[in-house]
Amino acid sequence: MKLKVKLLKEKIQNDRNINVDIYQLDVKNKDKIKQIITKILENKTIDMLVNNAGLALGLEHIDKGSINN
């Protein structure tokens, strides 16, 4: 986990007294996503999900794009 993300996680946990879990996933890797979601839901719920997807280099509108791009 990158230092900046780790520091943010610690700040949120300390400021809000809540648990924060961070997972780095490639949205194109469906099997890994399913694996992580299954692991999370075995013991807890997902209260908030933040998707920081990055570059978004596709040329299509989101509803017309392909999940494989």
Task: For residue 20, tell me if it sits in a domain.
Answer: no
Range of the domain at 30: 25-52
Give φ, ψ of 14 to 5 degrees. -70, -45
Task: For residue 38, tell me if it sits in a domain.
Answer: yes
What's the CA gap between 46 and 48, in Å, rounded? 6
Number of domains in the chain: 1
Please give the pLDDT value at position 27.
79
Please give the pLDDT value at position 50.
79
Q: Which residues fall within 8 angstroms of residue 36, CB to CB, at 6 or more apart? A: 23, 25
Closest Cα to residue 20, out of 31, 8, 32?
8
Task: For residue 33, tell me if it sits in a domain.
Answer: yes
Task: For residue 29, tell me if it sits in a domain.
Answer: yes
Q: Which residues fall within 8 angstroms of residue 26, CB to CB, at 6 or more apart? A: 32
Mean pLDDT, contiguous 10-residue spans, the chain (69 residues)? 88 93 86 91 84 66 68
Task: For residue 6, tell me if it sits in a domain.
Answer: no
Q: Please tell me whether residue 60 adopts helix, strand or coil conformation.
A: coil
Task: For residue 43, tell me if it sits in a domain.
Answer: yes
Please give the pLDDT value at position 12.
93
